Amino acid sequence: MRIIADENVFEPIIEWLRANRHEVISVRDSGLSGVSDDEIYEKAVKEQLVILTMDKDFSRMLRFPPERCGGIIVIKIYRLRVDETTELFSRCFEELDEKKTVGKLVIMTPHGVKVRSPKQEKET
C-alpha cells in the first residue's frame, strides 16, 4: 500500500508499516511538517496515496472525499502509551487489505475497524 502518514502518526507505526513492505511517505520526514490538511489531501489525490492520520477532521467525507485519493485511515486510538497504540494499530491494520481501503474511509478504534464507503454516505 502507498501511504502518506500525517505528522501526528507515531513513528513506531510508520516503522511497522515499512517493515511490513508498505511504501510510507512521512509528512514529518519529507519537509511537509506544518502544511494544511488540504495540502496533505491534495498530495494524496495527485499521487493516489492512502492518508493515515490521527486527525478526526479527515473523517469528514464531504470535505475530504476518500474516493478521490487512495483512501483515508483515521486512527482513533487515544490515551494509550505509544507501544500499546502501535500494537493495537498493527492488529487492526492486519484486518485490512488494499481492496477494503481504496476509496474508503477506515476508522480504527480500540474496538475494531469500521469501513465506510462514500456510496453508503450518500444513501443515508
Q: What is the pLDDT of residues 34-54, one digit of tens each?
A: 999 999 999 999 999 999 999
pTM: 0.91
- Which cell is 97 given? 487489505
Q: What is the pLDDT of residues 55-91, one digit of tens each?
A: 999 999 999 999 999 999 999 988 889 999 999 999 9
Instruction: Report the alpha-carbon distance of residue 40 to residue 49 in Å, rounded.
Output: 10
CATH of domain 2-123: 3.40.50
**Calculated CA dihedral for residues 14, 3, 41, 31, nearest 10 degrees:** 50
What residues have CB less than 8 Å from 16, skipping those under 6 apart?
86, 89, 90
**Residues facing 115 on adjacent strands:** 106
